[in-house]
Amino acid sequence: MKRLTQDELLQFLKSWETCYDLRVPILLPDGGRAICRLADGPLAMHGGSVPAKPTSLFFPQDGLVFAAGANGYLERVDTEKRLFIIGLTPTDLQCLRFIDRFFSTGERDDLYFASRDKAIIAVVSGYCGRDGEFIPPSSGSCDLELYHDGIDWLLMPYSDEGRELAASFNAGDEVVSLESVHGKAVHPPSAEQEVVLAAAAILQETELPDAFWDEIGEHCIQCSGCNLTCPTCTCFGVQDWCYGEHTERRRVWDSCQLAGFMREAGGHNPLATAGQRSRRRIHHKLVADMSRWGEIGCFVCGRCDLACPTGIGIIAVSREIVTRFGMPDDNSKRD
């Protein structure tokens, strides 16, 4: 493990720019942050998770599936350089693992794995969260981790490739282990994680009244921000774009909060009301994913709560559920 100053970290990143399609957190002109190329703005490692869906690096909002021209099918050309992504948080890594399983179950999704299989992932943790908040370290299921100890960055390699990358950088002091710096701290779930888990337990056991979901749905303005920022949302639609003799089939993110999400060609709509769609959004993550995958599909990254302009992200809705309907074994608060 190496200890790098901020300048050494920048040198380390620049040293990989020619070999890899390097993506790092940068500062945007409006003060926000995004994972982009180094040339796109100043490096902004501090601030925790970026607001945009980090899994979009492998599952973009609008992705080419194939194209056809006058002479028939045209092969999709994938980028030559491998992605080297820095700036996911350990929570983002859990979301990535969740959708890796989704895209590899049943028919393996070639489009997703064309870039995902070859990617190198470095997470950030330590004292570099929003407003200096502490981000607990990952469990190591990535290639590298950059842990901020309050002063410097500790570069920890986990995979063989990560070890090679770290060893080839001839700067930075050697440090024995993260434990020698950070100790063996145990990080209990946050208040937000606890409330989402409590809401999941209630929903898995109880059918809430339609009136509750209608009330939540009344606040939804169908902007789709919750789905478009959620790293575990995977719904997409398929569109064919024709330009003269050239046609492109593309897949484009969809949103379960839009009125037409499940509308059928005959006109029937199983999710016709905003209440039904809100119920579906929360149930999918906290109930359906649990029964399909054995874990809920929300890792409490906080993006949908930040994105929702009307305050009905999953943490806010979970708080309402727990407040109004109590803990799973507390029947006194239910109708």
Binding site for ligand SF4 (CB under 6 A): 95, 220-226, 229-232, 257, 285, 298-304, 307-310, 312-314
In the complex, the smallest distance separating the C-beta of residue 276 from ligand SF4, rounded to whole angstroms, is: 13
Give whole-number Cα distances, 259 to 62, 162, 221, 263, 330, in Å: 20, 45, 11, 7, 35
In the complex, the smallest distance separating the C-beta of residue 317 from ligand SF4, rounded to whole angstroms, is: 9
Q: Which of 140, 144, 88, 80 is nearest to 115 (CA)?
A: 80
In the complex, the smallest distance separating the C-beta of residue 260 from ligand SF4, rounded to whole angstroms, is: 13
- Quick one: 208 or 314, whose CB is closer to ligand SF4? 314
In the complex, the smallest distance separating the C-beta of residue 194 from ligand SF4, rounded to whole angstroms, is: 14
Count H helices, E strands: the chain? 12, 12
- Quick one: 178 or 315, whose CB is closer to ligand SF4? 315
Structure tokens at 114: 């064309």
Percent helix / strand / coil, the chain, rounded to 5: 35, 20, 45
In the complex, the smallest distance separating the C-beta of residue 223 from ligand SF4, rounded to whole angstroms, is: 4
Give whole-number Cα distances, 174 to 154, 156, 321, in Å: 9, 10, 49
Q: Which of 96, 101, 103 is nearest to 121 (CA)?
A: 96
- Quick one: 206 or 222, whose CB is closer to ligand SF4? 222
- Quick one: 10 or 223, whose CB is closer to ligand SF4? 223
Residue 181 CA to residue 2 CA, distance in Å, equals 12
- Using CB atoms within 10 Å of the CB of residue 322, give its burial: 0 to 12 exposed, 13 to 18 middle, 19+ buried: buried
- Quick one: 181 or 306, whose CB is closer to ligand SF4? 306
In the complex, the smallest distance separating the C-beta of residue 281 from ligand SF4, rounded to whole angstroms, is: 7
- Quick one: 122 or 296, whose CB is closer to ligand SF4? 296
